[in-house]
Chain A
Amino acid sequence: MWKTILRRVMIMVPEVIILSILVFLLAKAMPGDPFTGSINPKADPAQIKHLMAINGLNDPWYQQYWNWVVHLFHGNLGNSYQYQEPVTRLIAGRAGNTLWLAFFSMILTYALALPMGVFAGRHEGKLPDVVIRFYTYVTYCIPFFVILVLGIWIFGYVLGWFPTTGSVSSDAQGWVQTVGSHFYHILLPGILGALFSTVNIVQYLRSEVIDAKHSDYVRTARSKGVPSKDIYRHHIFRNSLLPIAAFAGYSITGLLNGSIFTETVFSYPGMGLLFVNSISYRDYTVITALVLIFGLLNLLGTLLSDIILSIVDPRIRIE
């Protein structure tokens, strides 16, 4: 078990290095630089050049890359050109928001999808199954950003039930109010995110349940006279969860990708919105740092999935 994990981690090292070089080169290959976007007619281009020089942007790429790596090992991801503050501080400020939202959304997704999947599988072909399948396909077909825009319009503006911008109200005083306000702000995007991302889990679970229903151990249990309720709870549900568990690791990264849409529509300052902005502004240090973080999370997500899988399914452990 530990060997497997260690092996996987070892493979990640070259992956991360290659990823970082690619990201670094691609960011530099984009036309423009961090300063052209904000020059004003009175700012001397000589000053812009001076700023480029003191930020080392005129050095050859390998030197810039090396400087970056050296700084990285000192826990320093550089300064954001756009925000003029350390990237680590900038990302730390935003990461909390994104993780709050992603975590809430994920819990809600599972809370909705698991019962729906089992229920649909149990009543295969009957009305509840049809309704659930219809629901998942419809939600799957509608682009996520459309839902977000519609959602904010109806529930945010027309009905006025939810806040429509930011991560916390500027009126919030004290600890309780602040946390409450944070939660209030993630409620609508979180619920929308959960309602419209159940399709994978429901469909997987449903087909697993249907498979399991016809398997030998279920038939045995049934013939022993185990009540149907217990069969579902102890035999079918547990076994059907296998692929879902394996999926969990990946779904973390999926949620982070979704954050780009959610945060843009809700003006919610998290990592997704930061990523979009940093690209427009050619904020190289932020772009590279974020892609690296997203990349690392992806690798960790896969690792996590494998670990979960090997825990729940002893057959696939590699010695």
Chain B
Amino acid sequence: MNKKKLVLSAMAVLATVSLAACSSKSSSKSSSSSNNGASLKLSSAYKNTKATDKTADNNSTLKVAEANDSPFQGISDTVLATNAEDSDVFSPGGGDSLFNVDKNYKIIDGGLANQRINRKAKTVTIKLRSNAKWSNGMDVTAKDIEYAYEVVANKNTTSQQYSSDFNAIKGMAAYHAGTAKTISGITYPDGQKGNTAVIHLTKITPSMKFAGNSFIWSTVEPYEYIKNVPIAKLASSTQVRKDPIFTGPYKLDKVVEGESTTWSTNKYYYGKTPQIKHININVVSTNNIVKAIQSKKYDFTISSLGGTSYKQLKNVKGYAKAGQPALAYSYFGFNVGHFDTKTNKNVMDKNSKMANKNLRQAMMYALNVDQVYKKFGNGITWRANTLVPPVFQKYWDSSAKGFPLNVKKAEKLLDEAGYKKRNGSKWRSDPNGKKLVIHFGAMTGNSTSAAEYQDYLQQWHKVGLDVQFTGGKTMEMNSFYSTLQAPKQSKIDIYAAAWSTSSEPTPTQLYGVTAPYNMGHFVSKKNTQLMAEMNNSKSFNDKYRTKIFKEWQEYMNDQAAVAPLSFSYNWYPVNHRVKGYDVSPANTEFWSSLSLTSSKLQ
């Protein structure tokens, strides 16, 4: 399995705002390679200035690779899909996304629909553009906007996207429970066949201004096309698997189950006319992807390649490299409490082994993460300084120090807190003089991650802390998470894991009091307050919200209950014959902007 770390994918988000996003503002192109803390600078765009040669024939085919070890599932519907592979191979269809975004993932006008938030009336109005059509010529209607919510929330749905935040939409909870047949909080001022849907909510938050928030769903469903399929059977229907329709620049010609998709231009597309006539997307095993690029089989990969591939491909002839910081970070978590299943709240335990802040900070300062990533990161992965990845240029605190190597400070912190070596032992004991053994939970990955973990253990041993792998070795992913997700556990004291974030970075779902994914159970008044402030009414002011996000990052670094470990690039090799390539989220015409300068790969 290629999930080295369980990078929990924020599907809705990936599909909405990554390569899939499509709309008509080619002027909003921004190819920033601004500061992100990495030593390697990758631009989100490949600026190909080459003249189109005589052999160039836009009737030719763009060849795209999806590097993945398993065949894709083939669920083209964004609400039902559970893997990034599916959203990748169906992305020329546009992912049926409603909104355009800017480089900060803020929703802007110009997409399939525009969004207006009315704070007083507590409504969100979504108005479709007049020429919004499906790839079979059908109109996109207000009902299509609403039907997405039905597929998300239906009692028998196979979708995993429903969250309690949706209960803020009036009537949604009743529909989800199966007691109401329709969602009363979604209305159509000019009828179901009209182009406006109004969503009535019990509260309005600043996060609603951003794509990927957990209140407003940002894709449409072709109601007329799929209305006869029961929602429970939608994922296995031909309308979703074999003959899906889309709203983006390309329409699907053929899907070979699990292997490839073939596309041609969609004449009903409202936005920029695509320049390349055909697109093929093929699944390529991750074992072979480097060879495939070296032998020039593909124009680019649609899935990001890792650091090892970067090392092997950075000098490959005929390819440029483009990339941008990933919507993800890896981190160290400390187990400082438990989840109370009666109250459904995380509770911090003051007497837990890792409750001492000094101990946690010291463990972080003892590590030489910079050196580790210098050796193994290949420039693609680097030491993280906060819990907000730099892809959020506005919110990421570039001045935060994080935890650079400082053994002296680590030792001082431990001494101060009373973690001393007693009776000639080579290990430090806890302040009460009891033996201290810390259990490190880490997931089994490749040989590189094994070396990283060994280095961490070595560094901890250096400052006198007896840290051992939980169970004496690294853990298989599934058992790692089942151990960690138990309401109360004492097998893992510190763990290394990763999150991929939504394009709206509010961290409440991960670190909130009631968040079940708060697996280290760190809870404090200040933390709760800061996270609440990110989405209170004052935070409609962007400056204020930015300030709160930075305060939160500083606070979390000080507490070190969850400590940042690494950031990374999503990077892609791009063949020299490709023109107009730009993976910035603000490039909402990714597919339509591409053209080829030659009929053959270079």
Contact = CB atoms under 8 A, between A and B. Distances in A.
B260 to A, nearest CB: 4
Interface string A271-284: 00110110011100
A43 B260 CA distance: 29
A46 B164 contact: yes
B288 A164 contact: yes
A170 B254 contact: yes
A295 interface: no
Contacts of B481: 32, 36
A7 to B, nearest CB: 41
Interface in A285-313: none
Contacts of B241: 85
B32 interface: no
A194 to B, nearest CB: 22
Contacts of A274: 71
B205 interface: no
A46 B161 CA distance: 11
Contact of B75 (A44, A84, A86, A165): A84
Contacts of A54: 156
Interface string A49-70: 0110010000000000000000
B356 interface: no
Nearest to A79: B236
B158 interface: yes
Interface stretch (A15-23, A106-114, A153-161): A153-161
Given A42-B12, A157-B295, A157-B297, 9 more contacts: A31-B476, A38-B9, A38-B11, A41-B10, A42-B165, A44-B162, A50-B162, A168-B259, A273-B71
B1 to A, nearest CB: 4
Interface string A186-227: 000000000000000000000000000000000000000000
B482 interface: yes
A167 interface: yes
Contact of B236 (A51, A86, A165): A86
Contact of B288 (A93, A158, A267): A267
Contact of A40 (B10, B260, B294): B10
Nearest to A30: B478
Contacts of B499: 41
A280 B3 CA distance: 9
Contacts of B13: 42
A166 B282 contact: yes
A309 B115 CA distance: 75
A156 to B, nearest CB: 8
B339 to A, nearest CB: 10
B482 A152 contact: no
B283 A267 contact: yes
Contacts of A45: 516-517
B161 A43 contact: yes
Nearest to A148: B287
B291 A39 contact: no
Given A166-B260, A170-B260, A170-B261, A38 B160 contact: yes
A-B interface, 6 closest residue pairs, ranked by CB to CB distance from nearest: A32-B478, A280-B1, A84-B235, A85-B236, A31-B479, A44-B163
Interface string B64-94: 0000011101110000101100000000000
B588 interface: no
B282 A43 contact: no
Given A32-B478, A43-B163, A170 B70 contact: no
A228 interface: no
B479 A32 contact: yes
26 contacts: A32-B478, A38-B9, A38-B11, A40-B160, A42-B163, A43-B161, A43-B163, A45-B516, A47-B160, A50-B162, A51-B160, A84-B75, A84-B80, A84-B158, A85-B236, A149-B287, A153-B291, A160-B295, A165-B285, A167-B259, A170-B256, A170-B262, A267-B288, A273-B71, A274-B71, A280-B1
A157 B291 CA distance: 7
Contacts of A93: 257
B471 to A, nearest CB: 12
Contact of B257 (A39, A86, A269): A269
B8 A40 contact: yes
B17 to A, nearest CB: 13
Nearest to B235: A84
Interface in B243-260: 254, 256-260
A213 B6 CA distance: 62
A264 interface: yes
B485 interface: yes
Given A35-B160, A46-B164, A51-B158, A166 B256 contact: yes
B121 interface: no
Interface string A67-87: 000000000000100111110
Given A85-B235, A264-B69, A42 B476 contact: no
A32 B477 CA distance: 9
B340 to A, nearest CB: 15
A167 B241 CA distance: 18
Interface in B472-524: 476-479, 481-482, 485, 499-502, 509-510, 516-517
Contacts of B138: none
B3 A168 contact: no
Interface string A138-151: 00000000000100
A153 B6 CA distance: 30
Contact of A83 (B74, B280, B517): B74
B378 to A, nearest CB: 22
Interface in B289-329: 291-292, 294-295, 297
B510 A38 contact: no
A269 B71 contact: yes
A24 to B, nearest CB: 18
Contacts of A44: 162-165
Contact of B280 (A36, A37, A86, A170): A170
A41 B285 contact: no
A31 B478 contact: yes
A55 B512 CA distance: 29
A36 B10 contact: no
Contacts of B517: 39, 41, 45
A102 B241 CA distance: 28
A37 B287 contact: no
Nearest to A55: B158
B298 to A, nearest CB: 10
A204 B514 CA distance: 67
Contacts of B82: 38, 82, 84
A265 interface: yes
B211 interface: no
A38 B83 contact: yes
Given A165-B285, A267-B285, A43 B236 contact: no
A181 B156 CA distance: 40
A85 B229 CA distance: 14
A93 B482 CA distance: 33
